[in-house]
């Protein structure tokens, strides 16, 4: 999930002038970890909580070991 946020953040730098991704990551990490837990629980029930493009990107990261 952090990888997806980083991808969105870097693709839209003009929206985040003066803010580093590291700052964002530091503030959001606890919330992201909670969200990941909830997403994993939902996945077990057959519910995917991200769009297809994000899911494919995440699968690519897992397959390449990044």
The tens digit of pLDDT for each residue in 10-59 reads: 887 788 778 888 888 888 878 877 887 787 788 788 877 777 887 788 77
Number of domains the chain is built from: 1
CA 26, 27, 29: angle at the middle one, nearest 5? 65
Name residue, tokens 């057959």: 46
pTM of the model: 0.39
The boundaries of the domain holding residue 57 are 2-64
The CA distances from residue 40 to 5, 18, 35, 44, in Å, are 17, 33, 9, 6
Please determine, for residue 63, whether its predicted confidence score (pLDDT) is greater than 60. yes
């Amino acid at each position: 999930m952090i990888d997806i946020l980083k991808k969105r953040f870097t693709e839209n730098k003009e929206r985040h002038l003066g803010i580093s991704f590291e700052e964002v990551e530091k503030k959001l990490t606890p919330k992201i970890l909670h969200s990941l837990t909830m997403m994993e629980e939902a996945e077990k029930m057959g519910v995917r909580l991200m769009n297809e493009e994000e899911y494919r990107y995440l699968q690519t990261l897992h397959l390449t070991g990044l």
